[in-house]
Structures are given as C-alpha cells and as structure tokens.
Structure 1
Amino acid sequence: MAERIKREKDNRREKGAAAEQAACDYLAAQGYAILDRNWRCRSGEIDIVAELGRLLVIVEVRSRSGSRYGTAAESVDYRKIRQVRGIASTYLHYKRLEDREMRFDVIAIELDAARNVVSLQHIEGAF
C-alpha cells in the first residue's frame, strides 16, 4: 500500500515538473524572461516568476492528464488565488520589487499518459 502511494506521488511530481517545463519553454518562446521557478516561502510556492519588459508576471501552472476532475484552468479556485497573491506579496518584498507593475497569469496544460503536451492555454491577467 505505501509503495503504491509513493509511486502515485512521484508520478504526480513528474507530471507537474513536465508541465512547468512546458510552461517555461512556451513563455521563453513568447519573449518572457524567466526570473524564478518554484520560489518558496513559508506560505507556499510560486510556480514561475517571469518578466516581459518591465512587467512582472506571476504564473500559476495547472496541469491535468485526464478530464475526470474538470479542466486544469478550472482548478484555480478562490483559495488558490488568495494564496498566490499572498506569496507574490512576500516575493515582491523579499526581492525589493514593490515598485514593479505585476500581473497574475495561469497556464493550463493538458498532458497525455507519456507526459506530452496535448494543449496549452495561457490566460493573461487571470486574477
């Protein structure tokens, strides 16, 4: 039983890492500079911090490999929005970037069983 749970957790981490890498590749191809990935503080983690000109973009990456729980974009709920905003405030203070214009984006990625990107949706100004 414990081995099965460990396998599922490892598989979930690998899928998340594949989705985040796909999101970074996409953003870089669109002209964004990636400043930080998986930036952590006591209250949580920011998946990607990117920059487009002087605009600072906080990106929440959501992925799904099946549709039984809804779409990846639908998984960003009020609790997650509140958490990401709080962590972003900590990030800005820690990095001394309080004067920067900021936007919150979501990148929703659907993966197949082999972790290949089936679809990628970039929602600018998602919240």
Structure 2
Amino acid sequence: MVERLNQGKANRREKGAAAEQAACDYLISRGYVIKDRNWRCRSGELDIIAAYGDLLVIVEVRSRSTGTRFGTAAESVDFRKVSQVRSTAMAYLHYKQQEDKELRFDVIAIEMDGGMGTVSLQHIEGAF
C-alpha cells in the first residue's frame, strides 16, 4: 500500500514537471524570458517567473488529466491559491529587490493525456 502511494506521488510530480515544461516552452515561443522556476519561500512556491518586456509575469501552472471529473485545471485556482501566490510573489519581489516592477499574474491550464503529453493549453493573462 505504501509503495502504491509513493508511486502516485511520483507520478503526480512527473505530471507537474511535464506541465511546467510545456508551459515554459509555450511562453518562450511567445517571446517571454523565463527568470525563475519553482521559486520557494516560507509562504509557498511560484511555478514560473517570466519577463515580457518590462513586465514581470508570475505564472501559476495547473494541469489535469483528460477525462477527470473534478473540473478544469483553470477552475482549480481558488481564493486560497490566489492569496498564497500573491504573498509569495511579494516575498520574491522583496528578495530580488524588484519591488518597483510592474507585475501580472497569469494562469496556464494544461490538459494532459495518459502519456504526459499536452492535449490542450490555455493561457489566461491577468487571471487574478
């Protein structure tokens, strides 16, 4: 039973990493410059920090497998997650001494197939 639980966690981590890589590839193809990935502090983690011109963009990546019954990836960004990402972003800006940067919060929602391939990708600019 424990082995099966660990397999599930590893599989989830692999799916998350695959989704984040797909999001980075997408952003780079659109002219974004990736500054940081998986930046962590006490208040949480930021999936992707990118620059788009003079704008600093904090990107929350959410993924779902095709056919899940628990709503879309984009719908999984709730009030608690928004609050956590915002407070972590403020810590990031302070740590990097970039409090004066213009900031935008985006969500990239990815639907994945069983082989961890991207079925669909939705980029929601200024999501929150």
**What TM-score do you get using the length of structure 1 for normalisation?**
0.99
In angstroms, what is the RMSD of aligned CA positions? 0.5
SS of the counterpart of 2:72? coil
For 2:99, the equivalent position in structure 1 comes to 98
| Aligned-pair CA distance for 1:43 | 1.3
| In 2: Cα distance, 1:123 partner to 1:69 partner | 20
One-letter identity of the residue aligned with 1:108:
A
**Structure 1 runs of 4+ with >6 Å offset:** none
| In 2: Cα distance, 1:102 partner to 1:11 partner | 33
Q: Structure 1 stretches of 5 or more lacking a match?
A: none
| In 2: Cα distance, 1:19 partner to 1:68 partner | 19
For 1:85, the equivalent position in structure 2 comes to 86
| In 2: Cα distance, 1:54 partner to 1:60 partner | 19
One-letter identity of the residue aligned with 1:125:
G
**1:1-127 map, 5 Å:** 1-66=1-66, 67-127=68-128
**What TM-score do you get using the length of structure 2 for normalisation?**
0.98
| Aligned residues between the structures | 127
| In 2: Cα distance, 1:38 partner to 1:101 partner | 20
One-letter identity of the residue aligned with 1:99:
D
